[in-house]
Structure 1
Amino acid sequence: MKKTLTVLSWLLAVPFYLMAQQINLEQIVVTPYRYPQAAGQTCGSLTVIGQEDIENGNPVTVLDSLRVVPGIVVRDWYGNSAKASIDIRGFGEQAAMNSVVLIDSRRINEVDLSGVDWSQIPLSQVERIEVIRGGSGAVLYGDNAVSGVVNIITKKGRGKPKLSYKSQYGSYNFDSEELSLSGSLEKLSYQLTGSRIHTHGYRNNSYLKSYDFGSKLEYAFGPDWNLRFDSGFHKADFGLPGNLSGTDLEVFDRTHSKYGDDYVKEKDYYFTLGLDKDFGQWGESSVDLSFRNRDAYSYFLGANAGWNPILKSYIETFSLTSKHAFKQPFFGHDNSLIAGIDIYQYDYSADTYNLSDQLQDFNDINKTTYAAYFQNEFSIFEKLKLIGGYRREKVSYDFDYHDNSGTYPDIDRKSDFYQKAYNSGLVYSHTEQSKVFLNISRSFRTPATDEYFTWGSLNLDLKPQVSDNFEIGTEQKFNDNFQAGLSLFRMDLENELYYNPTGGPFAFGANENYNKTRRDGIEFSFDAKFFSWLELYGNYTYLKATFRGDSYAGNTIPMVPRNKVLIGMRWLPLESLKIDLSTNCIDEKFYINDQANRYDRIGAYQTINLSLSYSRDNWKFLAGVNNLASREYSEYGVRNATTGAYNLYPNPTRNFIVKVNYEF
């Protein structure tokens, strides 16, 4: 803690720059209400990362861009984004299962524990990223939206045809290229993008090879109809270097891999067909039909010590989502209502093979969700709005498991859940760019498909977790040169899903429910322009995540840092030249599996990033340095709950990036 206070004091004395901008409250966003609305009228904590933020900084992936958001901690296991997660408001090991990630409002969370593959989202396709922090998004987005929602809005073709070429080069033989074509005709808009990424990675066997293609087409037929077609293809091959134990780090350097032969190959593609209809005074309707297929081949020769090292998994996702937004005065007051239905069908299959490629067991699970929701926004007065919404969701599982060896019995079972979410609050916009809000909500998450299985047995005693959330906050623009935001929140959870390292029938570990947990937090951000050429801004997050009652009462939840600070400077010595300097400080936290808080923590760390961007005519150049001071740190670590032995996943030291963009 003394180190943290020293870092905080230094940061306050020597302000560096944060890359993400304070939110423009006049900006139109879509995530908080599922229809366009001014950011200043949203009843909750909202951050928007714009295209300028992305282009003028060092981020290579969407994941990198999210590091600057208050209340978010990023954990990248291997430094290549292929195995990574974002933690919104302190969920530690289970963070990936407690937030929803969308692309153009299309859900991309997997039904199992594999999480989101952040390398499949080319940053150059992104127009902006909208982040809701807190559980207010659960009414509109349902399962998993416990701590927040991330909506990645991709670019739409506009105006005359544009052909753009981007190239990036960096440390560890990083090499990326992209070609995109965009534009619009009288009724048709189009955006086509192809890209590839190759890197050896910071560690041995942390290579990544990925190839992506995306399309976004819209056709307006008639004055009131709009047809949309989106598609994407992703192919990736990446290494799995594994962890390094304390003993390993005494013998080898941080780039070592003890699993030099482990890897994953995956293919992922999707199609979405959407139809919009404007009914004039009776509102607007949208219907989307989507299909996604993901195949993965995982080879765990080292990690599994040769025991059934091959896993072939398949996930097919069908979805049908419809909504109707209706804006009409109610008793002389402005009123907006959205109502909709979401249907998702997941077909999950995971098959294990031995070294001879002989099937050892198969696990097929179907998950189906049916949900109906509504949310209403009523203007009590011109500047005061009342928000209310409700969601009812049915979740059904169908399990089919067979072990060829006969060690474990066959399983053919079904299970159903009914869950609800609500969202209520008040937002007072006393000026066009200032607001105060109060939000009370309930969010939930159901178990992932592979959370049900422990050592060949099915645990149908697992319950969905529920979170009751309270938040109060404000966004204030004091003048054209200074604005700030503050949020205070509490999340009380029941039956939180977690991995108990000493649970299960043989005390070898199992997924279980913990009766009660709590998150208390404060998020503060500011943006100050001292001159037209100098800007300072940053944010601070305080988060206390604890177990309540039972065996770990009062203990801190592992992998959740108490403090996070981001602060920095942007300097424009010339109109076409920008210099960004930013620092990120993350407090110490307990290792995964140390729910007892018995052992030492993963140390606090600080990284400093520097970038110089220059624009001239159709050219854009950027040179950047990440982790300028070459700190040695780890974002992820695990302990043995019995012996205390620890394993770390080292993150990259100082590294460089160069970006070149030309628009024809």
Structure 2
Amino acid sequence: MRPVCRWGGHMGARVLVIGTISLCLIPAIDRAEAQTASSDSEVLPAIEVVAPATSAKPARSRGAARAATRNMRRVYVYPTAPTPTVGSGTDVDKVAAAVNAVGAGQIARTGSLNIADTLQQQVPGIIISDTTGNSFQPDIQFRGFVASPVAGTPQGLAVYQNGVRINEAFGDTVNWDLIPTAAIRSVTVVTNNPAFGLNALGGAVNVQMKDGFNYHGGEINTMGGSFGRIQSSAQYGKQIDNVSVYGALEGVRDNGYRNFSESAIRRFYGDVGYRTDSSEFHLNVGVAKNNFGATAAVPVELLQKYWGATYTTPQTHDNRVAYANLSGKVDVTPTWTIEGSARVRAFRQKTVDGNPTETEPCAADAGLLCFNEDAAPGAPANGLNGVQLANPFPDTAVLGQIDRTTTRSTTTGATLQATNTDQLFGHNNQFMVGTSFDSGVTRFGASAELGTIGPNYVVSGSGIFLGPSGAPISIGPVSLRATNRYTGLYALDTFDVTDKFSISGGGRFNFASVNLQDLIGTDLNGSHTFSRFNPMIGGTYKITPELTAYAGYSEANRAPTPLELACADPARPCIIGAFLIADPPLKQVVSRTVEAGFRGTRELNIGTLGWKVGAFRATNADDILALPSELPGFGYFQNVGSTRRQGIEAQLNLTSKTLQLYASYALVDARFLDALQVNSHSPFAVDGIIQVLPGNRIPAIPRNRVKFGIDYSVTEAFKIGGDALFVGSQYFVGDESNQAARLPGYSVFNLHAAYQINKMFQIYGRVDNVFDKRYATYGTFFDTSDVPNFTNGGADFTDPRSVSPARPRAFYAGLKATF
């Protein structure tokens, strides 16, 4: 007879037999139970292992069934490949890497519709920075590798939503604002695994969404507070026999804490599922339409006068996405499972960016406009018709330009994977083989309109658009068609040498093809291919039932993006993300990572104690960085040799019915390993050049991160808590030579409380940045002569530092109804 599954007292879970071990695949998790479960059970899609039976006969009595349940141990599944199916993966005790994950309950406790906030709280190596100046478009940095929405940021993390890679096709950017946060079931940060394909240099972020099998009932959650914030989400899930439905709708309006930083978010996610004892299928769809004011970094001289200051606006983003994903999983035999998916994703982004300009009256004839007139000789500034532009601006005007871009990408893809759990040589073994294909077609366009910069740093357009302005620089219109085709073939195997010792090995072959077609001329035409096999090997040893050791080695690669390939020549720089020209090819980045550590759990009188400590070292060969040109506002991408990121991570969790406590520390040491010279606006630059030496630290990567949080149930209905974040100092971007003073570290404290009025209604509130700490998460340098300091009578700025200020103290309150 098939064994019987129990989980938390529930019957009816499906059973998968692996040799002499029975795995119980848990179906629906009741929403109320999930919200009060331990942090671990919230985090990982749970399956439960039944201890090998001593008799072939099932238990006949209720007492015997309870005894059998006590002998079962719970096994948490950790993803081993980017598949859309919850529960696909391996026993977390056999993962030869650090385990980092958060669940729906942890996300809900933040009260935020931004998944980045939860990841920063719960994952030791993660911090976020507001490079764009908008908290809904953060950079997420893990171990010194970044997943960012900013075009031109070298991306080092692969991000998946239900098995679909959501790094956008043109620049591998990640728009975190497009992920419907209320609909997230779990997020895992995976390391030491090349199966996650391109960009997984530092790891991969794997987002699994809810469906009607694991979420039952409904919820409406509304919150409002400081800076004009009002947000609301609604979700509903239901299972009817073998069919499930789930839907989530979210909306946010926020005026922002800085001028021109309004945000409007509208997101929907839906899922329809069907399953039998041996199969499961899902169709999920989503749409989003979001608008942002992206205020970016601002000179510190302006912040000293007003914390909400901005510099050269407008800076706006309009993001839209629509996607559909069809996935399925079939147990072909008791030991073979086939799963796959097919998807389509349409993404559109429009940006408007007010900037200083290199266009100015010609020295020889002030009645004409020239480009880069400070250089000798300056190039004529031409209009769209190729004719040199006359100067219509008064002598007192401060000239600027409005850069506009449009990106339209359509990506399609499919994944197929087979998993076998037959024993090998009498030992438990899990073998997985899969393939994936993704194709992206992008239409990219850019234009530049001349204008004037007012005393509030707002750029007003003049209706005059720039055309080709002469070699070697061109800031004329761009129309480009880029085609990406990414193919991967991977295989992974986990073999139990003994009951305590398991080894894992495998790898993935990646093939990337990038084709560029210039739709105006021929300069941007190009065809590039990249290929590589990335291996991995690792092992885990269960020293005691409560202590596991792990170690692993892996490799990963990143192919240059179309954006990088079209802007890679220091002699012919571009306005990054806007104006592209033909350039030499770039080499792909290859990362080699080794990590090792210990983790364990222990039952104490006061609750369950979980802990982990580990170390890692990742070395990148032919790393790609975005480097500034000697021309202000221009830059290029270049291979800069080898870089290294290494460090340690430690975390402690204590979970009981009334108390949840966590604390973590991460050290990330990121350095250049080769010498190079780069342009910089650093005050220590000589003729605009700084010398980078081996051992210099990479900017924008803080060395130390400390996190702490607590939740305490004063009564069954009333809960209070708080969290703290301490981040060390970091070097300014542009200070690769490490000569200037660093951007100071910061500490932030937050408080929250909730009261359950009755079974249906809960009120809650939170205070962010309790002590109103004024700090910045990102810093760079700018050309102080670009635009006058209007707050100082029009004189030049004297301090080249420019930073992204963080949010001041904020108060929020909300009401949640569940039914």
Paired residue for 1:56? Answer: 109
Taking the aligned partners of 1:543 and 1:513, their CA distance within structure 2 comes to: 22
Mapped to 2, the partners of 1:330 and 1:153 lie a distance apart of 31
8 Å Cα contact 2:292-2:316 kept in structure 1: yes
Q: Quick check: 1:636 aligned with 2:778?
A: yes
Match of 1:17 in 2: none
| Bigger mean CA offset, 118-127 vs 582-591 | 118-127
1:30, distance to aligned residue in structure 2 (A): 4.2
Question: Hey, what's the Cα distance between the residues in 2 that align with 1:541 and 1:463?
Answer: 31
Within 2, Cα distance between the matches of 1:208 and 1:114? Answer: 23
In the alignment, the residues of structure 1 paired with residue 89 and residue 514 of structure 2 have an alpha-carbon distance, to the nearest angstrom, of 35
Structure 1 counterpart of 2:525, which letter? Answer: D
Letter in 2 for 1:654: R
Asked whether 1:625 is paired with 2:767, we answer yes
CA distance in 1 between partners of 2:311 and 2:541 (Å): 56
Q: 1:28 to 1:70 in 2, by over 3 A?
A: same
Out of 586, 590, 614, the position equivalent to 2:727 is: 586
User: Secondary structure, in 3 states, of the residue corresponding to 1:424?
Assistant: strand
Report the counterpart of residue 368 of structure 1 in structure 2: 485
Residue number in structure 1 paired with 2:551? 438
TM-score (normalised: structure 1)? 0.90
Task: Please list the CA deviations of residues 444-463 of structure 1 after superposition, one character each: whole Å capped at 9, or x if unmatched.
Answer: 11112211223343334311
Q: Tell me the equivalent position of 2:180.
A: 122
Q: Report what 2:412 is aligned to.
A: 318
Secondary structure at 2:295's aligned position in 1?
Answer: coil
Query: Which structure is richer in relative contact order (CA contacts within 8 A, separation 6 or more)?
Result: 1
Query: For each residue in 1:96-152, what CA deviation from the matched residue of structure 2 results, as whole angstroms up to 9, or x when unmatched?
Result: 7111111122211113347222222232111221122x3x122x1110011111112
Pick one of 99, 102, 117 that aligns with 2:157.
99
Alpha-carbon RMSD across the aligned residues, in angstroms, is: 2.6
Q: 128, 137, 143: which is aligned to 2:193?
A: 137
* 1:210-233 deviation digits (Å, cap 9, x = unpaired): 11111011112x643332101000
How far 1:246 sits from its partner (Å)? 2.6
Say yes or no: does 1:494 pair with 2:621. yes
Report SS of the residue matched to 1:66. Answer: helix
How far the C-alpha of 1:311 sits from its partner, in A, is 1.1
Task: Name the structure 2 match of 1:421.
Answer: 534
Paired position in structure 2 for 1:546: 671
**Structure 1 residues 460 and 137: alpha-carbon distance in aligned structure 2, compared to 1, 3 A threshold:** farther
Shift of 1:80: 4.1
Whichever residue aligns with residue 176 of structure 1, its letter is Q
How far apart in 2 are the matches of 1:191 and 1:240? 33
SS at 2:738 equivalent: coil
For 2:595, the equivalent position in structure 1 comes to 471
Please list every run of 5 or more consecutive structure 1 residues that lacks an aligned counterpart in the other structure.
1-19
Rounded to whole Å, the distance in 2 between the matches of 1:440 and 1:570 is 37
Instruction: Count how many residue pairs are aligned between Structure 1 and Structure 2.
Output: 634
Please tell me the residue identity of whatever aligns with 2:648: I
Q: Equivalent residues in 2 for 1:12-411 (5 A)?
A: 21=39, 26=74, 28-33=76-81, 35-68=88-121, 69-77=123-131, 80-91=134-145, 97-113=155-171, 115-132=173-190, 134=191, 136-138=192-194, 140-158=195-213, 162-220=217-275, 223-250=277-304, 252-302=305-355, 306-307=400-401, 309-355=403-449, 360-402=477-519, 410-411=523-524
In the alignment, the residues of structure 1 paired with residue 509 and residue 301 of structure 2 have an alpha-carbon distance, to the nearest angstrom, of: 51
Report the equivalent of 1:512.
638
Give the structure 1 partner of residue 32 of structure 2: none
Once the two structures are overlaid, the 10-residue window that deviates more, 87-96 or 64-73, is 87-96
CA 1:223–1:525: 2 relative to 1, 3 Å:
closer
2:395 matched residue in structure 1: none
In the alignment, residue 636 of structure 1 is paired with which amino acid?
Answer: Y
Question: How far, CA to CA, are the matches of 2:215 and 2:550 in structure 1?
Answer: 42
Q: Look up the SS of the partner of 1:661 in the other structure.
A: strand
C-alpha contact (below 8 Å) 1:625/1:657 kept by paired residues? yes
CA apart distance, 1:503: 7.9
Give the Å deviation of 1:353.
2.9
Which residue number in structure 1 is paired with residue 680 of structure 2?
none
As a proportion of its length, which structure holds more strand? 1
Which whole-Å CA distance do the structure 2 matches of 1:95 and 1:613 have between them? Answer: 39
Q: Residue 642 of structure 1: CA displacement?
A: 11
Letter in 1 for 2:516: F
Equivalent positions of 1:592-607 (< 5 A) are 592-607=733-748
- Assess, with a 3 A threshold, how the Cα gap between structure 1 residues 114 and 518 changes in structure 2: closer, same or farther: closer
**TM-score, length-scaled by structure 2:** 0.73
Shift of 1:354: 4.4
* Counterpart contact for 2:523–2:582, Cα < 8 Å: no
Q: Does the Cα contact within 8 Å between 1:22 and 1:484 map onto a contact in 2?
A: no
Secondary structure, aligned partner of 1:280: coil
Q: Give SS of 1:172's match.
A: helix
1:333 is displaced (CA, Å) by 0.7
Superposition deviation, residue 47 in structure 1: 1.5
**1:173 Cα deviation after fit:** 0.8
Q: Which digits, 9 at most, give the CA deviation of each residue in 1:376-414, with x for residues without a partner?
A: 00110111111001111110111112557xxxx533221
Say if 1:433 and 1:38 are closer, same or farther in 2 by CA, change over 3 A. Answer: farther
Q: Is the 8 A contact 1:436 1:474 kept in 2?
A: yes
**Deviation per residue, 1:180-211 (Å, 9 max, x gap):** 22101111111011221111011111111111
* Aligned residues of 2:706 and 2:727 also touching (Cα < 8 A): yes
SS at match of 2:722: strand
- Alignment partner of 1:396: what SS? strand
CA deviations 1:224-244 (Å, max 9, x no partner) are 333210100000111122321
Q: Residue 190 of structure 1 aligns to which amino acid in structure 2?
A: V
Q: Is the 8 A contact 2:481 2:519 kept in 1?
A: no
Cα distance in structure 1, aligned partners of 2:725 and 2:158? 24
What secondary structure does 1:145 align onto?
Answer: coil
- 1:247 alignment partner, SS class: helix
Q: Using the TM superposition, give the Cα deviation of residue 161 of structure 1 relative to its aligned residue in structure 2, in angstroms.
A: 6.2
Letter in 2 for 1:111: A
Secondary structure of the 1:376 match is: strand
Deviates more, 1:327-336 or 1:55-64: 55-64
> What secondary structure is seen at the aligned counterpart in 2 of 1:386?
strand
Deviations 1:582-612 (A, max 9, x none): 1100000001121111211111000001111
For residue 276 of structure 1, what is the amino acid of its counterpart?
A: K
Query: SS where residue 248 of structure 1 aligns?
Result: helix
Unaligned runs of 5+ in 2: 1-37, 45-73, 358-398, 450-462, 466-475, 568-573, 575-579, 677-691, 786-798
Kindly provide the amino acid, as one letter, of the partner of residue 555 in structure 2: R
Secondary structure of 2:700's partner? Answer: coil
The more displaced of 423-432 and 648-657 is 423-432
| CA spacing shift, 1:191–1:357, aligned 2, 3 Å | farther
Question: 1:79/1:263 Cα in 2 relative to 1: closer, same or farther (>3 Å)?
Answer: closer
Any conservation in 2 of the 1:209–1:236 contact (CA below 8 Å)? yes
Q: Which amino acid aligns with 1:470?
A: V
Relative to 1, partners in 2 of residues 1:492 and 1:161: Cα closer, same or farther, differing over 3 Å? closer
Question: Which amino acid in 1 is paired with 2:105?
Answer: E
Q: Which amino acid aligns with 2:803?
A: L
Deviation at 1:435, TM superposition (A): 1.5
Partner amino acid for 1:416?
T
Report the equivalent of 2:583. 459
Q: 1:576 aligns with which of 711, 717, 720?
A: 717
